[in-house]
Amino acid sequence: MGRSICHTPGRTCITHRINHVDKYQARFYDSSGNAPDQVQVQVESGKVSICGTTFGIPFEELRLEVGGHDGDRFKLSSEKQNVTIVSEDRTFLHALSAAARGTELGKQAAQADHKIVKRGSHKARYWSIVVGVVLAVGITGYLILDPMSAAIATMIDPKFEIKLGEMLARTDKLDKKSENYLRVTGIAQKLTAQLEKCPYKFQFFVKKDKEVNACAYPGGIIIINSALIEKAKNDDELAGVMAHEIGHVIHRHTLKQALHNCGLITCLSLVSGGVSGPGEAEKLETVFALAQKLESLNFSRAQETDADITGLELEVKAGYSGEGIVNFFKRLEREENTLGPGSARLFSVLSTHPMSADRAAKIEAELKRLKQTSGQP
Amino acid sequence: MRAEAGAMVAKSPKLHIRGKMWGGFFGAMKRSVLGGETFFFQEISAEDGNGDVLLAPSLIGDVKVISLADGQDYYVQSGCLLAALDHVEMGTKAQKLTAGLFSGAGFFVLHLKGSGHFVISAFGAIMEIPIPAGQEYIVDNGHVVAWSGDTEYHMVKAGKTWWSSMTSGEGLACKFQGPGKVWIQTRNPRAFGAWVGQFATRRGGLASLIG
């Protein structure tokens, strides 16, 4: 490409040609399939030539197309000479399109340049679509998780649920003799006697543990930690907690929660691209554990309320006051506050069943209603 | 030089090893989450004098040193990069949708450019296949390890018809277009994993769902 210095446009120009031609980096492939040579090419007098050699290919023989894995480079190939030149240098493309203007090659060069430039914006659009779809699938999946797991739960046979619970709960080493156990079974008998048409067989177990907590497994196995029994001042309080756990079983909350977790795994796999390749199953597990923590996979507030209401009904029918559960949790909260934050682990039941003012109010309202209905013969 | 975390087998005492997040925190994040590489890379430097280091990948298979020269860049399947010299620049690039889903190389591949050498590892032997300009080559999905940036590939059915593709057990394959080179592994890790899986007992199961 020549350089011209033109002082006055429209007049005779003093053109000073310097023997300077722009050079471009490219890779030169011959027909052998060997590794390419790095070359410098120039566009000169109707030819693309390799610097330092006499080799040149006339424009008519060249065909240009965009290529490469990312579509970010162009290939100039000549069938006659059986060679291909690959370059990423867009100034080379500009020079070609200027020098070969009006020819097929010039047209191809201009189109290729357009295509390479457009690639960037295409990519942005492509990625926003991909991210959008993934998010949409993830969010929809997440939103329909609970209704879905509730729907699936109705299809599961209670017999299977009981088996599942027996598989999950390790009850063989639990205490079946102590005073605590006798106290629990005594209350349990009174409570379960009030159940009508329940497919579950309730079994209560006592676990020696310093943590104040209780948990219900699908199908009717309920494990109560010894610390909780000792913290309960009277049978009313203990019955409150036990009836609440029975409520969870009747409403199949654990089963729904397990299904919810299954769904969550599916959602996460969809979003993260699933398990593939070595070590990715572990990675997914870590992500899942993190998600579990973030989401705090306890029963939802609505589920707690359901369990509360069912529990209260049982308690009142069995002849307990019904005020036990609120009193128990309120006292525990006060104790935790006086003991300081270090005791939070011991009172884990509080974090899984926080007695909010709202929950207490709901329980009291329900209790009032129950007492009214039972008071009217 | 930089190597995959855990790849070192032995080294001279004069060499120093440091865990490094190559490309900063976000670069490392992107690479490990999207590219399937380790989050940390180990940087092995010869500060106190010369020495040698032995590296090995976790999979049973070949390693191959590729030299970055002549302005050529390379794409490497995620998880197949064992080590690279200091001047190699590494990035993560997304593949096209069909390639990402079916090539077996994953959605995100590593893009290497700059100067120096890098080492790829694979399952089974590594074969280098040069593809002359204007020619094509077909590689079954799951066997592609690395390819030069000048080539490009598309997903095609391995047989002439869908029926013959499925019945021949090949399904989809990657059709590479020359000029350029492609490195393939002679064994398919996923097929091997499926074979091993027949004999392994399942772990986790329902207990892990309830947590």
Q: Does A37 touch chain B (CB under 8 A)?
A: yes
Asked whether B86 and B52 are in contact (CB, 8 A), the reply is no
Confidence bin at A283 (pLDDT 50/70/90): low
Q: Answer yes or no: do B133 and A254 touch at CB < 8 A.
A: no
Of B79, B132, B211, the CB nearest to A292: B211
pLDDT tens digits, B16-41:
888 777 666 666 676 666 656 667 77
- In DSSP notation, B91-116 reads EEEEPPHHHHHHSSS-SEEEEEEESE
CA of A254 vs chain B CAs: smallest distance (Å): 8
One-letter amino acid identity for A283?
Answer: K
Cα B166 to the chain's mean position, in Å?
26
Confidence bin at A289 (pLDDT 50/70/90): low
Is B96 a member of any domain?
yes
Tokens 């629990």 appear where?
A: A184
Is B192 a member of any domain?
no
Q: What is the pLDDT of residue A359?
A: 80
Distance CA B198, CA B123 (A): 19
**Mean pLDDT computed over A53-78:** 86
**Mean pLDDT computed over B114-135:** 90
One-letter amino acid identity for B40?
Answer: F
Burial of A304 per CB tally in 10 Å (0-12, 13-18, 19+): buried
The tokens describing A373, both together, are: 């209905």
Q: Does B71 touch chain A (CB under 8 A)?
A: yes
Nearest CA in chain B to A264: B209
One-letter amino acid identity for A313?
Answer: E
pLDDT tens digits, A349-377:
666 676 777 788 888 888 888 877 765 43
pLDDT tens digits, B43-86:
888 888 888 888 888 888 899 999 988 788 999 987 788 888 88
**For A185-188, which contacts have Cβ atoms below 8 Å and span 24 or more sequence positions?**
A187/A235, A187/A238, A187/A239, A187/A242, A188/A242
pLDDT tens digits, A201-250:
888 888 888 888 888 888 888 888 888 888 888 888 888 888 888 888 88
* Listed range (A11-25, B120-134, B153-167) with the worst mean pLDDT: A11-25
Residues of A in contact with B58 (CB under 8 A): 278
Q: Which residues pair with B63 in a beta bridge?
A: B121
Confidence bin at A284 (pLDDT 50/70/90): low
Residue B145: half-sphere exposure toward Cβ, Cα within 13 Å = 27
- In DSSP notation, A27-47 reads EEE-TT-PPPEEEEEEEETTE
Tokens 């690395």 appear where?
A: B146
Asked whether A222 and A241 are in contact (CB, 8 A), the reply is no
Confidence bin at A15 (pLDDT 50/70/90): very low
The structural domains of chain A, with segments of one domain joined by +, span 24-118, 146-375
Which parts of B5-147 fold into alpha helices (H)?
Answer: 24-35, 97-102
Is B209 a member of any domain?
no
Is B205 a member of any domain?
no
Q: Could you tell me which residues come within 8 angstroms of residue A35 by beta carbon, excluding any fewer than 6 positions away?
A: B70, B72, B130, B181
CA of B107 vs chain A CAs: smallest distance (Å): 9
CATH number of A24-118: 2.30.29.30
Q: Coil, strand or helix: which one is B56?
A: coil
Q: Does A143 touch chain B (CB under 8 A)?
A: no
Distance CA B123, CA B189 (A): 6
Is B203 a member of any domain?
no
* CATH number of the domain residue B109 falls in: 3.60.160.10
**Whole-number Cα distances in Å, B199 to A278, B194, B202, B206:** 17, 9, 9, 20
Residues of chain B with pLDDT > 90, as a percent, come to 12
**Mean pLDDT computed over B166-176:** 79
Q: Which residues pair with B54 in a beta bridge?
A: B10
Distance CA B75, CA B98 (A): 17
Q: Does the pLDDT value for residue A108 go beyond 80?
A: yes
**Whole-number Cα distances in Å, A188 to A25, A77, A194, A201:** 85, 86, 10, 11
Structural domains counted in chain B: 1
CA of A38 vs chain B CAs: smallest distance (Å): 5
Nearest CA in chain A to B38: A279
Q: What is the pLDDT of residue A118?
A: 81
**Mean pLDDT computed over B132-146:** 88
Is B142 a member of any domain?
yes
Q: Does A128 touch chain B (CB under 8 A)?
A: no
Q: Does B107 touch chain A (CB under 8 A)?
A: yes
Is B132 a member of any domain?
yes
Smallest CA-to-CA distance from B131 within B161, B95, B174 is with: B174
Q: Does B135 touch chain A (CB under 8 A)?
A: yes
Q: What is the pLDDT of residue B65?
A: 93
Residues of B in contact with A88 (CB under 8 A): 71
Residues of B in contact with A82 (CB under 8 A): 133-134
Smallest CA-to-CA distance from A241 within A117, A351, A145, A328 is with: A328
Q: What is the ipTM of this complex?
A: 0.74
Confidence bin at A321 (pLDDT 50/70/90): confident
Residue A95 phi, psi (nearest 5): -60, -40
Smallest CA-to-CA distance from B87 within B118, B126, B41 is with: B118
pLDDT tens digits, B173-193:
888 988 889 999 998 887 888
Its domain, for residue B92, covers 2-187
Distance CA B94, CA B181 (A): 20
Torsional sign, CA B4, B5, B9, B10: positive
Distance CA B117, CA B113 (A): 10
Q: Regarding predicted confidence, which is higher, A168 or A295?
A: A168
Which parts of A43-89 fold into alpha helices (H)?
Answer: none
Q: How many residues are listed for chain A in this entry?
A: 377
Torsional sign, CA A362, A367, A373, A375: negative
Residue A226: half-sphere exposure toward Cβ, Cα within 13 Å = 13
CA of A120 vs chain B CAs: smallest distance (Å): 13
